[in-house]
Amino acid sequence: MSHPLRETELPNPRTVDLDLATPLQIADLINAEDQTVADSVHAQRVPIATAIATAENALRHGRRIVYIGAGTSGRLGVLDASEIPPTFGEKPGRFVGLIAGGERALRNPIEGAEDRPDGGRQDLVEIQLVVGDFVIGVAASGNTPYVRAALEFARGLGCPTALICCATPLPEMRKATDILIHVDTGPEVLTGSTRMKAGTATKLVLNMISTGAMVRMGKTYRNLMVDLMATNTKLVDRSERIFMEVCKTDRATARDAIDNAGGSVKVAIVMHEKQVTRERALTLLDIKAGFVREIIGPIPVPI
């Protein structure tokens, strides 16, 4: 059965002379198109907020957020999931990224992987998907068989589902989706190349969902990532700067405080501000579900 040409596959009248453009003109053409993406994402703020709330609910009940997609869409989901542990100190596996064709597909195209519905179902079976996991399909075209089958399987199991797409999804895809985030980015600069505007839009939406869920889970204080994992020199420096910002101390004090807190910036802040032991700080954080503000209150921001 044939279907109407998807929006992302339509030719862009503003870039029909792309092959005649100078380097500067190419930069200007791409940039002009990219400037439309944020507004397209904003138009989907309500379903994005619903996805944030759904993700929060899943995490609070010990469940996972599962991104599943193919090609660029799949890679973006894997990227977002992989950045959650170091950024927010979340346990590995709470956010899962699945891509058609598996690990090899992250760097190499796997021909036909996105067209195999059995792959989407099997990948969810292999991670032992359970009721309450939140499955987010990522499919710029709104028509990826791998993603559609995954959403159908998840919904049949009783999992909430969402779809991030940039073209009108087919009815069968829509039927398997509880939360539809359709970011209408329109025709690409390079016809059909959804790694461009559609990819940018997808990354923006994924950022909003994961960051929003982590904020709602108490992983931040003000706009500071107080639960980050200091796994390299840059992050050690950031940890110390966060402590210094919140507690108004010097670098040496910050370093000692974080060491005494077992490497946790969040615990160090509570220990310092409440003048309590590490054990008491951990207890307070447990009582307040990890929300630093609930324990130490707001600290005035310099004007």
pLDDT tens, position by position, 260-298: 999 999 999 999 999 999 999 999 999 999 999 999 987
109, 100 in Cβ contact below 8 A?
no
Residue range 39-83, pLDDT digits in tens: 999 999 999 999 999 999 999 999 999 999 999 999 999 999 999
Instruction: Report how far residue 245's alpha carbon sits from residue 190's, in angstroms, rounded to the nearest whole number.
Output: 45
The position carrying tokens 């402590």 is 243
Residue 7 token pair: 């929006």
Q: What is the pLDDT of residue 10?
A: 85
Residue 35 token pair: 């400037």
- Average confidence score pLDDT of the chain: 93
Q: What is the pLDDT of residue 299?
A: 66
The residue annotated as part of the active site, out of 33, 90, 114, 240, is 114
Q: What is the pLDDT of residue 217?
A: 96
Pick the more confident residue, 199 or 112. Answer: 199
Residue 216 token pair: 């709602």
7-216 and 233-296: same fold? no
83 labelled catalytic: yes
296, 273 in Cβ contact below 8 A?
yes
**169 phi/psi in degrees, rounded to 5:** -70, 150
Query: Which of left, alpha, beta for 169 (phi over 0: left; psi -120 to 50: alpha)?
Result: beta
The CATH code of the domain at 7-216 is 3.40.50.10490
| DSSP helix/strand/coil, 70 | coil
Instruction: Report how far residue 101's alpha carbon sits from residue 112's, in angstroms, rounded to the nearest whole number.
Output: 9
Residue range 216-229, pLDDT digits in tens: 999 999 999 999 87
114 labelled catalytic: yes
Q: What is the pLDDT of residue 129?
A: 98
Residue 303 token pair: 């004007």
> How far is residue 253 from each of residues 111, 130, 278, measured CA to CA in Å?
55, 45, 16
Query: What pTM, to 2 d.p., does this model score?
Result: 0.91
Q: What is the pLDDT of residue 301?
A: 56
> How far is residue 74 from each of residues 69, 123, 194, 279, measured CA to CA in Å?
4, 13, 12, 41
- Nearest residue to 144 via CA among 80, 73, 88: 73
Q: What is the pLDDT of residue 4?
A: 59
In this prediction, residue 1 has a pLDDT band, given cuts at 50, 70 and 90, of very low
94, 59 in Cβ contact below 8 A?
yes
Q: What is the pLDDT of residue 232?
A: 84
Report, as an integer, the average pLDDT of 94-117.
86
241, 263 in Cβ contact below 8 A?
no
Q: What is the pLDDT of residue 178?
A: 98
Q: Which CATH number fits domain 233-296: 1.10.10.10, 3.40.50.720, 1.10.8.1080, 3.40.50.2300?
A: 1.10.8.1080
Report, as an integer, the average pLDDT of 104-118.
81
142, 167 in Cβ contact below 8 A?
yes
* DSSP type of residue 114: G
In this prediction, residue 302 has a pLDDT band, given cuts at 50, 70 and 90, of low
The answer to whether residue 110 scores a pLDDT higher than 50 is yes
What's at 5, amino acid-wise?
L
Instruction: Parse the chain into domains and list their residue ranges.
Output: 7-216, 233-296
Within the chain, where are the H helices?
23-34, 37-42, 45-60, 71-82, 84-88, 117-126, 145-157, 171-175, 197-216, 233-247, 251-260, 265-274, 278-287, 292-296
- Nearest residue to 93 via CA among 125, 65, 53: 65
205, 177 in Cβ contact below 8 A?
no
Instruction: Report how far residue 95's alpha carbon sits from residue 55's, in angstroms, rounded to the nearest whole number.
Output: 10
Residue range 8-43, pLDDT digits in tens: 888 898 998 999 999 999 999 999 999 999 999 999
